């Protein structure tokens, strides 16, 4: 009965407008079969539009660069561009980007009224192996009663791009007590998938070989401890594999743990406190040269439903068995508190780039040079922007944002150091039948071993939350 009463309490706390989403994507909730806190990501404006009929349709691939963006103000810092223009970053050369949009699947996991489709921006999912693109997604069928269940993540689908469409090449059944969405990355030709088994207090690791399609699942033989939540996973440049989670304690005293496989077996958990906060969620990781690495996470204070939110930066080292140590990450943006994560990237000069979310519904960009003491003030603010992600390539670093008015905006810089976002031209692309972008999932160095060549991401929109769409941006 206590579990049922708490379920009602948490779902009530999640109801309302998008302001709740601006601070936290998810709320801990008990499993009725095990006393373990899990996430119930929610968005009050759940989509009701019918999803398109087919997972893969070549007709869904379209060039939309010339469709409807007519405000060309080249002299303005944030000009909306639909025509050729000169940029300082390209040495005066004419630069133009074209976006190609391709449907991936309409079985992306979401549960109307309980779990919104943009949950877990830190989880990876999009990756390349030998320059072939894969989307690794938690999936369910909206047309099958009970298949999309907030307390049961049933399967992962592996989709591969072939020509102008995506095809599902594998379906991985998950152990019955995985509830949250999974994290994934490519390790050579093997895709590795990680989820928390809340009954066994273990992280389950599933693998799919993209060449042979052989698959397997097995628990990592290390206990997570109680109330494990917010899984994350990444591959370090050295080849080390990492998975992490937080142990939630409502009211304070939570912890953060990670385990490491140096390609010879799992080590850990490397568990430590998080400054008295309840949990350390939506953690992104980056790996500068050497053995040190960093986390960026959202932290929570108070008791449900009266939580407050902030962010922390964590420092850890692969050469030791010590847990991460944490410091306050980011200053308020003109009185608007920073409350959650969006993305984290380290460039070739070892500068750290952060994209965060604020309580007022903006996205904010911060930068810290190698060896710097702090991030200082935000260097750019994207008003009314729920999601913002980095699109890294070997030659450039893009920033893709989803303004509340719909569509996406792209800015691209071609040098290391702080991004001059106030000066970069803005390419704006409409996304029909999408609405506000709820989730952006880019390729990134922590999710694959392939070199980063393409400016690309997958997006999930508010209007059809079970539909994911791949966006590729190319110079014309």
The pairing of strands 190-197 and 202-209 is antiparallel
216-220-221-223 Cα dihedral, nearest 10 degrees: -140
Beta-strand ranges (E) seen in 20-178 are 28-31, 34-39, 62-63, 80-81, 85-86, 94-95, 97-105, 126-129, 132-139, 155-162, 165-173
Which pLDDT does position 95 carry in this prediction?
83
Has domain 2-475 been given CATH number 2.130.10.10?
A: yes
Nearest CA among 439, 435, 444, 445 for reference residue 458: 439
Nearest CA among 233, 210, 209 for reference residue 220: 233
Q: Do residues 174 and 182 make contact, with C-beta atoms less than 8 angstroms apart?
A: yes
Give the Cα separation of 174 and 56 in Å (integer): 24
The predicted-structure confidence for 42-92, as pLDDT tens digits, reads as follows 333 322 233 333 333 332 332 333 322 222 222 223 333 332 222 323 334
Mapped onto helix, strand or coil, the DSSP state of residue 304 is: coil
Instruction: Please list the pLDDT of the chain residue by residue as tens digits (476 residues).
Output: 333 222 322 333 333 333 333 344 443 333 322 323 333 333 333 222 333 333 333 323 323 333 222 222 222 233 333 322 223 233 343 688 999 999 999 999 999 999 999 999 899 999 999 999 999 999 999 999 999 999 999 999 999 999 999 999 999 999 989 999 999 999 999 999 999 999 999 999 999 999 999 999 999 999 999 999 999 999 999 999 999 999 999 999 999 999 999 999 999 999 999 999 999 999 999 999 999 999 999 999 999 999 999 999 999 999 999 999 999 979 999 989 999 999 999 999 999 999 999 999 999 999 999 999 899 999 999 999 999 999 999 999 999 999 999 999 999 999 889 999 999 999 999 999 899 999 999 999 999 999 999 999 999 999 999 999 999 999 98
Who's near 241: CB < 8 A, 6+ residues apart? 185, 187, 192, 233, 234, 235, 260, 261, 263
Using the CB atoms, write b or e for 408-443: b if 16+ within 10 Å.
Answer: bbbbbbbeeebbebeebbbbbbebeebbbbbbbbbb
Mapped onto helix, strand or coil, the DSSP state of residue 408 is: strand
Q: Quote the distance between the C-alpha of residue 103 and its chain's center.
A: 19
Give the Cα separation of 193 and 57 in Å (integer): 27
Q: Quote the distance between the C-alpha of residue 236 and its chain's center.
A: 17
Both tokens assigned to 323: 């847990």
> What is the domain partition of the chain in residue ranges?
2-475
Both tokens assigned to 283: 């953690």
Helix (H) or strand (E) holding 468: strand 468-475
Who's near 42: CB < 8 A, 6+ residues apart? 11, 14, 15, 20, 21, 26, 27, 113, 114, 115, 116
Give the Cα separation of 255 and 200 in Å (integer): 19
Beta-strand ranges (E) seen in 91-153 are 94-95, 97-105, 126-129, 132-139
The predicted-structure confidence for 82-95, as pLDDT tens digits, reads as follows 322 223 233 343 68
Mapped onto helix, strand or coil, the DSSP state of residue 3 is: helix
Which string of DSSP letters, residue by residue, matches 346-401?
A: E-TT--EEEEEEETTS-EEEEEE-TT-S---S-SEEETTEEEEEEEE-SS-EEEEE
Both tokens assigned to 189: 């030709």
Which pLDDT does position 476 carry in this prediction?
87
Nearest CA among 222, 181, 167 for reference residue 25: 181
Nearest CA among 300, 299, 303, 301 for reference residue 311: 299
Q: Residue written as tokens 């941006």?
A: 473
Q: Which residues pair with 284 in a beta bridge?
A: 296
Cα torsion angle, 380, 385, 82, 452, sign: positive
Give the Cα separation of 448 and 83 in Å (integer): 34
Would you mind telling me the total number of residues written for the chain in this entry? 476
Which pLDDT does position 94 carry in this prediction?
64
């Amino acid at each position: 009965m206590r579990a049922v009463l708490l379920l009602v309490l948490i779902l009530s706390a999640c109801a309302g407008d998008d302001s709740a989403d601006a601070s936290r994507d998810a709320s801990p909730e008990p499993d009725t079969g095990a006393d373990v806190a899990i996430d119930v990501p929610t968005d009050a404006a759940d989509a009701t539009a019918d999803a398109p009929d087919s997972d893969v349709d070549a007709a869904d691939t379209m060039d939309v660069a010339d469709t409807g963006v007519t405000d060309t103000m080249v002299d303005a810092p944030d000009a909306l561009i639909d025509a050729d223009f000169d940029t300082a970053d390209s040495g005066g050369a004419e630069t133009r980007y074209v976006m190609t949009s391709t449907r991936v699947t309409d079985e992306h996991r979401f549960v109307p009224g309980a779990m919104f489709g943009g949950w877990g921006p830190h989880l990876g999912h999009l990756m390349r192996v030998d320059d072939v693109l894969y989307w690794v997604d938690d999936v369910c069928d909206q047309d099958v009663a009970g298949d999309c269940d907030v307390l049961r993540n049933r399967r992962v689908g592996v989709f591969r791009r072939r020509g102008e469409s995506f095809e599902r090449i594998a379906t991985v059944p998950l152990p019955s007590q995985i509830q949250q969405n999974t994290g994934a990355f490519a390790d050579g030709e093997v895709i590795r998938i990680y989820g928390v088994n809340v009954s066994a207090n273990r992280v389950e690791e599933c693998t799919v070989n993209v060449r042979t399609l052989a698959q397997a699942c097995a628990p990592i033989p290390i206990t997570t401890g109680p109330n494990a939540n917010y899984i994350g996973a990444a591959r370090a440049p050295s080849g080390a594999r990492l998975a992490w989670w937080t142990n939630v304690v409502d009211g304070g005293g939570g912890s953060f743990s990670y385990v490491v496989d140096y390609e010879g077996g799992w080590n850990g958990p490397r568990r430590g406190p998080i400054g008295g906060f309840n949990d350390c969620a939506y953690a992104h990781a980056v790996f500068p040269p050497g053995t040190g690495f960093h986390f960026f996470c959202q932290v929570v204070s108070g008791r449900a439903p009266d939580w407050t939110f902030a962010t922390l930066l964590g420092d850890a080292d692969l050469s030791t068995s010590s847990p991460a140590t944490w410091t306050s990450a980011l200053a308020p943006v003109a009185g608007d508190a920073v409350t959650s994560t969006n993305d984290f990237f380290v460039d070739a000069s070892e500068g750290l780039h952060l994209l965060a979310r604020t309580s007022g519904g903006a996205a904010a960009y911060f930068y810290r040079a190698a060896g710097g003491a702090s991030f200082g003030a935000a260097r750019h603010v994207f008003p009314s922007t729920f999601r913002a992600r980095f699109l890294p390539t070997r030659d450039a670093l893009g920033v893709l944002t989803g303004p509340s008015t719909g569509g996406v905006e792209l800015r691209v810089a071609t040098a290391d150091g702080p991004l001059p976002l106030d000066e970069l031209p803005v390419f704006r692309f409409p996304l029909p039948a999408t609405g506000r972008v709820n989730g952006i999932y880019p390729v990134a160095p922590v999710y694959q071993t392939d070199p980063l060549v393409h400016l690309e991401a997958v997006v999930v929109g508010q209007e059809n939350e079970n539909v994911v769409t791949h966006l590729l941006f190319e110079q014309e």
